[in-house]
Amino acid sequence: MPLLAILKAGAAYLPLDPALPVERLSFMLSDAQPQLILTDSSITLPPNAPPRLNLDTLQVPHLPIFPSSLPYPTSPLAYLLYTSGSTGTPKGVQILQRSLLNFLLSMQQHPGLVAQDILLAVTTLSFDIAALELWLPLISGATVVIADRPTATGDGLPDALMRHQITVMQATPAAWRLLISMGWQGQLKVFCGGEALEATLAEQLLECNCEVWNLYGPTETTIWSGVYQVETELETATVPIGQPIANTQFHVLDAQLQPVPTGVAGELCIGGIGLAQGYRNRPDLTAEKFVPHPHGRLYRTGDRVRYRADGTLEYLGRFDHQVKLRGFRIELGEIEAILTQHPNVQAAVVVLQETPEPHLIAYFIPVSDTYPAPFLKDFLATKLPSYMLPAVFVPLESMPLTSNGKIDRRALPLPDADHLNQSADTFVAPRNPTEVKLAKIWADILNRTQTITSIGITDNFFTLGGHSLLAIRVIAQIQQQFGVEIPLRILFEQPTIAALSEAIHAAQAKTTAPIQRLTDPQHIPLSFAQQRQWFLAQLEPDSPFYNIPAAIRIAGRLDAGILQQCFRSILQRHQVLRTDFPTIDGSLQRGCNQTGHCHYR
């Protein structure tokens, strides 16, 4: 509501994430010079913050029913967002109201949103794609359900999708990959963007009966600039960028900004109404990235693409050192610039390691022989958001160079086991039985032969080789061995044994009684989901919609008696397959057929 009020007043908004370092927030406030901050009384603001309005203590009933007349518009801007900058300071992208409106009207047509849709919003406001989640349902008459952070980033997401009967969700490929690994089955309209969408992931989403749309676009061209619907098996490793949205033009140009032929790689330059006004207080950078052209003003994305024969664009990578990690666009140069501000760092290079769980690696030349990896990470944490922190720090005596004297990033050595463990000097052994047991769980799941001697309580789970699927196994083992439920997001947000141990102790302090397994199941009421399934079955008794058909060809002679016995054994083993739904005293109940008979033809 506050954002809508700001736009209706003809002003622009700047989202500020309280989780960002104070130094970064202070710079954004100094650069943007906002007139007012809408917040709540629990948030501590930087010293240079403008006047604040605490919405949680605002006396709404005492405000006038009808707003005062306001001059319109007071600003052509819709919002201001800060993204990573290569010089060590973030850059403010100024998006116009007309650009936002054009984007929303185009997205309303393709991929499309109608009044019957229910969209689950899972994106933080400081990420530009949150504007789609807020405003597209509003102009379409659809419903938006705003997920809280634990739901949006944890294992409660599948339940939220089912509970709210969600029909549309927008997320990064990493989020969709995690959702599938948690056993989620779809039937959603999937908006996927923020990183290159792998063909294998797109095909998995199609197998979940999803309508899959790949969305592409930098912040500087207003959220998404290209859309592509995935309908068939793909021949390339990544999904094409597709076609530009309304009033948007794609140009594939060479270094002299001349067009290249179909099939030849070039830089994607974007023109049209979606272009940002420029970078706030950065005329030099604005002139560098937003260039004049015979076809009109263009934004140079730095993305390597080529036109395919069918007219769609194929993404090939980056020309510069800007990367995307977990949906966030990161200038590696910004991390390098801040890293070299540390008094014990002479030079630094940061790269993105492309693995199943991508992460940043910082290579540096120390001033002294002291290995300052933990101090470097603490130093960066005061200046950068968590998604920009390198997972591994590798000290070097010198940087590998190319023949023309530039740093040869391809020749940088891969981190070894010592680097992954951040050296023996940083090792902290388990201090209590909980941490010892957690170290054993990690060692078993990560296939490590040693436990306490190889895994410390401050080691990063993902740096040691963990990924989203293994994280789910860790959480399952914690529930089994400690008898408590820990949200999956805890392991992603604080992937250390020390943090998990604290979470376990906090959960054990709660007095919630565990659910007892019934030895002799009685008739009990149906859950809401079961009531829904039963009701649909009564409406269409012969509908096969919720059946899962399969055809299997059996070679050789079939022994019908053995097959019958196999079915009976499966039924006896799994109680859910013997569940029936009798009506007792006028109330629908859930029971269990003890016989386990089955009939087949």
The DSSP string of 483-523 is: S----HHHHHHS-SHHHHHHHHHHHHHS-PPPPPPPSS---
Domain locations in the chain as residue ranges: 1-69, 76-318, 342-424, 427-509, 523-536+556-601
Q: Which CATH code is given to the segment(s) 76-318?
A: 3.40.50.12780
Residue 421 has pLDDT above 70, yes or no: no
Question: What is the mean pLDDT of the segment spanning 571-597?
Answer: 78
Query: Nearest CA to 475 among 152, 156, 205?
Result: 156
> At the topology level of CATH, where does 342-424 sit?
GMP Synthetase; Chain A, domain 3 (3.30.300)
Query: Nearest CA to 350 among 328, 338, 335?
Result: 335
Whether 322 and 299 have beta carbons less than 8 Å apart is answered as no
- Angle between helix axes 373-381 and 332-339 (nearest 10 degrees) is 110
For 50-104, write each residue's pLDDT tens digit. 999 998 888 776 666 666 665 555 569 999 999 887 667 889 999 999 999 999 9
The second-level CATH assignment, the architecture, of 427-509 is Orthogonal Bundle (1.10)
- CA distances (Å), 15 to each of 20, 38, 128, 172, 246, in order? 11, 10, 9, 20, 27
Buried b (16+ CB within 10 A) or exposed e, 328-365: bbbbbbbbbbbbeebeebebbbbbbeeeebbbbbbbbb
Whether 102 and 132 have beta carbons less than 8 Å apart is answered as no
pLDDT of residue 369: 72
Separation between Cα atoms, residue 560 and residue 562, nearest integer Å: 6
Strand 168-171 to 189-192 pairing: parallel
* 453 — pLDDT class (breaks 50, 70, 90): low
Query: Nearest CA to 485 among 496, 495, 474, 494?
Result: 474
Residue 259 has pLDDT above 50, yes or no: yes
In 87-148, which ranges are continuous DSSP H helix?
97-107, 130-140
Residue 434 has pLDDT above 80, yes or no: yes
Hey, what are 469's tokens? Answer: 């699927």
Question: What is the mean pLDDT of the segment spanning 401-405?
Answer: 60
Q: Report which listed range, 55-64, 107-116, 347-356, 569-578, is most confident.
A: 107-116
Separation between Cα atoms, residue 211 and residue 190, nearest integer Å: 6
**Of the listed ranges 175-179, 314-318, 322-326, 558-562, the one predicted with least confidence:** 322-326
pLDDT of residue 424: 42
* 402 — pLDDT class (breaks 50, 70, 90): low
For 369-389, write each residue's pLDDT tens digit. 765 677 888 888 888 877 788
Query: Nearest CA to 181 among 445, 468, 479, 485?
Result: 468
Separation between Cα atoms, residue 248 and residue 225, nearest integer Å: 7
